[in-house]
Structure 1
Amino acid sequence: MLHYALIFFVVAIIAAVLGFGGIAGAAAGIAKILFFVFLILFIVSLVMGRRPRV
């Protein structure tokens, strides 16, 4: 998931440099959403991994 966020971030940077503002904004928004989903899943996996086994 973090890989896709980085890909969309790079696409947003390239689109912004080439002057495609709409595409750059959309790609940056998608990258931000994917990053936060990755962050939430990462924190949940850390918490679940620290639970004692029953």
Structure 2
Amino acid sequence: MEERGFYFAAEEREEFGISVALVWEPTEKDLQLSIMLGNYMLAVGFTF
């Protein structure tokens, strides 16, 4: 069974940079906003 609802994820990465991305994955029905500042990444999403 698929999990649905909001999710949050945070991790420290080897990469270093600044980025903001809004991603829609139609096969998984997943909308995600990810923000990377320095080498920390935060993702907030919703799976329909």
TM over 0.5: no
Larger radius of gyration: 1
- Between 1 and 2, higher relative CO (CA 8 Å, sep ≥ 6) is seen in 2
* Shorter-normalised TM range: under 0.3
Structure with greater proportional strand content: 2
